[in-house]
A = this chain, B = another copy of it.
């Protein structure tokens, strides 16, 4: 096991009607002038935004609102948010929404006290030394941003999608009411579930040996998702299934299922180019990319792929030909994704094989290599895009 630090200081407030406590928790965590940041009209129509406003007013907390966050959140709105915060002396940012809203809120939080361009952090040109406190009222189980220090923003000009992570932007608290996720359509629900599973797989495929506890925690989240996702697709109002998925989404990405070892993250990087170019859902892109990545790399450690096939997918172990078991596990994953309504190839996603050279070019590793499990070259990444483009079951 490698040396590690693990710090997940977010206070999680989970369960029915907890959104009515938003004001109480903002006060507890020191907020006095709040920016409520949100996405589209659903937060307005559902009455959620009003509930949050009322709970803030009950604590005599003033606020401004900034809506309009899009999926794959844009830098342009981040700049607007930074200006709004500065103009109004905002000291706390409350994200009401899913991962895109939270990521946008985190970018604003970094930008407000920084004299330069906030994009410097995402471009790897600067390290932040402070940020406004951020908290969340989560409405989508997917990104895990409610419990992580990560944020992904897309630069409008050129469609550059880049991630950044810092403990400074770990949410102070996250309010998680599974009821809020019940109105999410099946397709978006399945995209979220795919993202959650991908967050685990990125950590599962490691070159660090003998970290059984982390393996088992990863498998715990995957097994939960395999049980609960079909239940929620079949019955969107199944509270118990929604609750299990929502909490699994947090556990999958607050760091606990990745401690003590190397991680991969190539599938996320490879997918980011798809959602940046086609503006498709990140989860749908992962459904197409991740099994293709698995097919491309599994020979690097057949027994690890066999392990997940047996422990998670329930495949029988083929002791004479472990490779068969490894491949069966990948096939199970693809069948599972198809069963919950996810695309499995470029055509179903709305992507085009002829764009592969452009995708690889934008990925931008040149002659370098990338990834924690298998180091991939630009040519390897092109191969994975091709496998993804043509996948069939």
* Chain A contact residues, CB within 8 Å of chain B: 1-16, 18, 178, 209-213, 216-217, 219-221, 223-224, 227-228, 239-241, 243-244, 247-248, 251, 256, 259-260
Residue numbers in B under 8 Å from A15 (CB-CB): 1-4, 260
Q: Given the known inter-chain contacts A240-B209, A260-B247, please indicate yes or no for A4 contacting B8, CB distance below 8 A.
A: no
Contacts of A241 in B (CB 8 A): 210
Are A7 and B14 in contact, with the CB atoms below 8 A? no
Copies of this chain per assembly: 2
| Residues of the B chain whose Cβ atoms lie less than 8 Å from the Cβ of A247 | 1, 213, 259-260
- Say yes or no: A5-B1 contact (C-beta < 8 A), given A213-B221, A228-B212, A251-B217: no
> Measured between alpha carbons, how far is A14 from B260 in the docked complex, in Å?
8
| CB proximity of A274 to chain B, nearest CB, Å | 29
Q: Are A251 and B244 in contact (CB under 8 A)?
A: no
* Chain B residue at smallest Cβ distance from A3: B15
Contact of A260 among B18, B220, B243 (CB under 8 A): B243
Nearest CB of chain B from residue A366's CB, rounded to whole Å: 34
A244 near B12: Cβ-Cβ < 8 Å: no
Complex CA–CA separation, A345 to B265 (angstroms): 50
5 closest cross-chain pairs (CB), A and B: A3-B15, A216-B220, A210-B240, A1-B243, A9-B9
Task: Contacts A3-B18, A15-B3 given; indicate if A213 touches B209 (C-beta within 8 A).
Answer: no
A6, B14: Cα distance in complex, Å: 8
**A210 proximity list for chain B (CB < 8 A):** 240-241, 244
Q: What's the nearest-Cβ distance from chain B to residue A204, in Å?
A: 13
Q: List, in ascending order, chain B residues with CB within 8 A of A220's CB.
A: 213, 216-217, 219-220
Neighbouring B residues of A260 by C-beta, 8 Å: 14-15, 243, 247
Complex CA–CA separation, A206 to B212 (angstroms): 26
Of the candidates B209, B221, B244, B259, which one forms a contact with A211 in the assembled complex, judged by CB atoms under 8 Å apart? B244
**A213 vs B221: C-alpha distance when bound (angstroms):** 7
Chain B residues within 8 Å of A10, by CB: 7
| A241-B210 Cα distance, complex, nearest whole Å | 8
Q: Is the CB of A244 within 8 A of B1?
A: yes
Whole-angstrom distance from the CB of A350 to the nearest CB of chain B? 33
Contacts of A243 in B (CB 8 A): 1, 260
